[in-house]
A and B are shown apart, each in its own frame.
Chain A
Amino acid sequence: MTESRLSYYGKPIIKEPVWKTEIPKYFFTGGLAGASATLSAASRAAGNEPLARRALYVAAAGVTMSPYFLIKDLGRPMRFYNMMRVFKVTSPMSVGTWIVAAEGTSTGIAAACELFGVLPRIRTATQVVSGLLGPAMASYTGALVADSVVPAWHESRRELPLLFASSSAAAAGGLAAALTPVAAARPGRRLGLLGGLAELVTQKVMERRMGELVAEPYKKGEGARYRKAAEAATVSGVGLMLLAGRTRTGAAAAGALLAAGSWCTRFAVYHAGKTSAADPRYTSIPQRERAAERGQPAVTR
Chain B
Amino acid sequence: MQLGDGQTTYGLQIQPRMGFFTDTSVCIGCKACEVACKEWNLVPEDGLVWSGNSYDNTGELSANTWRHVAFIEQQTNDGMRWLMSSDVCKHCTHAGCLDVCPTGAITRTEFGTVVIQDDVCNGCGYCVTACPFGVISKREIDGDGGMHKCTLCYDRIEDGLEPACAKACPTKSIQFGPLHELLERAHGRLDDLHEAGVDDARLYGANEGDGVGGMGSVFLLLDEPEVYGLPPDPVDPTRNLGTIWGAAGAAAALLAAGVVFAFAGGGND
Q: Is the CB of A291 within 8 A of B232?
A: yes
B258 and A169 contact, CB distance less than 8 A: yes
Interface string of A14-42 (1 = CB under 8 A from B): 11011100000000000000010011001
**Cβ 8 A contact of A75, one of B125, B230, B253:** B125
Minimum distance in angstroms from A196 CB to a CB of chain B: 11
Measured CB to CB, the nearest residue on chain A to B223 is A2
Q: Given A76-B145, A169-B255, decide whether A11 and B229 contact each other with a Cβ distance below 8 A.
A: yes
Majority secondary structure of chain A interface residues (helix, strand, loop or mixed): helix
Complex interface: chain B residues within 8 A of A290 (CB): 233
Give min CB distance, A272 to chain B, whole Å: 13
Neighbouring A residues of B129 by C-beta, 8 Å: 15, 17, 19, 145, 148-150, 153, 277
A-B contact sample (11 more), CB < 8 A, given A76-B145, A299-B221: A3-B75, A43-B263, A46-B266, A149-B96, A150-B129, A154-B240, A157-B240, A162-B251, A165-B251, A173-B262, A288-B226
Determine if B250 and A162 form an interchain contact, defined as CB atoms under 8 angstroms apart. yes
Per-position binary interface string of chain A over residues 139-174, scored 1 when its CB falls under 8 Å from any chain B CB and 0 otherwise: 110111111111001100111111011101100010
| A13-B230, A300-B206 as given contacts; A161 in contact with B102, CB under 8 Å | no
Number of residue pairs spanning A and B whose beta carbons lie under 8 angstroms apart? 301
Known A-B contacts A194-B261, A297-B210; the reply to A91 vs B255 at CB < 8 A is no
Q: Please report B residues at the A interface, Cβ cutoff 8 Å.
A: 51, 53, 56, 59-60, 62, 70, 72, 74-77, 81, 96, 99-105, 120-126, 128-138, 144-147, 187, 190, 202-207, 209-211, 221, 223-235, 237-238, 240-241, 243-245, 247-256, 258-263, 266-269
Rounded to whole Å, the gap between the CB of A178 and the closest CB of chain B is: 15
Expressed in whole angstroms, the Cα–Cα distance for A290 and B209 within the complex equals 14
Closest B residue to A45 by CB, please name it: B263
The answer to whether A165 and B206 have CB atoms under 8 Å apart is no
Within the complex, the shortest CB–CB distance from A219 to chain B, in Å, comes to 22
User: What are 21 residue pairs bridging A and B, where the CB atoms are less than 8 Å apart in the complex?
Assistant: A5-B226, A8-B70, A8-B72, A9-B56, A17-B128, A18-B138, A75-B125, A79-B103, A79-B122, A83-B124, A88-B101, A94-B102, A136-B248, A138-B251, A154-B237, A164-B251, A186-B267, A198-B258, A287-B231, A291-B233, A298-B207
Considering the complex, give the chain B residue whose CB is closest to the CB of A8.
Answer: B229
Q: Mostly helix, strand, loop or mixed at chain B's interface?
A: mixed
- Residues of chain B within 8 A of A18, CB atoms compared: 125, 128, 137-138
